[in-house]
Amino acid sequence: MKTHELTGMSDDELLLALRDTEKHLFQLRFQSATDRLETPTEIGKAKRQIARIKTLQRARELKKLVALPDADIAGQLTFLEDKVEGPGKRRAKRAVFRLQTIQAGRPTAAATTTTGSGK
């Protein structure tokens, strides 16, 4: 399956394709361990397919995150800032940084209004 075929799929279809490809990769690895694998390149193809699907899923997830309203992003920031310490802190710090970057990239109400004549 090529990338252009994957982009036409819904999120649920992508998840199903990912699970099928992961199962296929497991079967290929099992065949490789028992010396019954006819084409060793199939393992690499399956890994690349999994990477394509996960990349597309991540891009869609970030697109949805950017589309969130400011109030939701602020709510997620306050929720995640409590988790910056303790287990899972690296993931929480990355998520906080990502949300702060999205929030900083948006124009504020003060920045959209201009003062003066504009000359």
In terms of domains, do 75 and 62 share one? no
Which of 1-10, 20-29, 76-85, 101-110 shows the lowest per-residue confidence on average (mean pLDDT)? 101-110
In terms of domains, do 43 and 25 share one? yes
Q: Is residue 27 over pLDDT 90?
A: yes
The total number of structural domains in the chain stands at 2
In-domain check, residue 20: yes
* CATH number for the domain that contains residue 14: 1.10.287.310
Instruction: Please report the beta strands in 47-118, taking only residues with DSSP state E, as ranges in sequence order.
Output: none
- Long-range contacts, 25-29 (Cβ 8 Å, 24+): 25/50
3-state secondary structure of 29: helix
In terms of domains, do 44 and 23 share one? yes
- What tens digit of pLDDT does each residue of 58-110 get? 999 999 999 989 899 999 999 988 888 888 889 999 999 999 998 888 877 55
In terms of domains, do 18 and 45 share one? yes
In terms of domains, do 73 and 45 share one? no
Owning domain of residue 48: 1-67
In terms of domains, do 61 and 3 share one? yes
In terms of domains, do 82 and 59 share one? no
Going by the DSSP 8-state scheme, the letter that residue 37 receives in this structure is -
Which residues, 6+ apart, have CB-to-CB distance to 18 below 8 Å?
50, 53, 54, 57
Q: Determine the average pLDDT of the residues in 16-26.
A: 96
Considering the entire predicted model, what is its pTM? 0.76
Burial of 31 (0-12, 13-18, 19+ CB in 10 A): middle
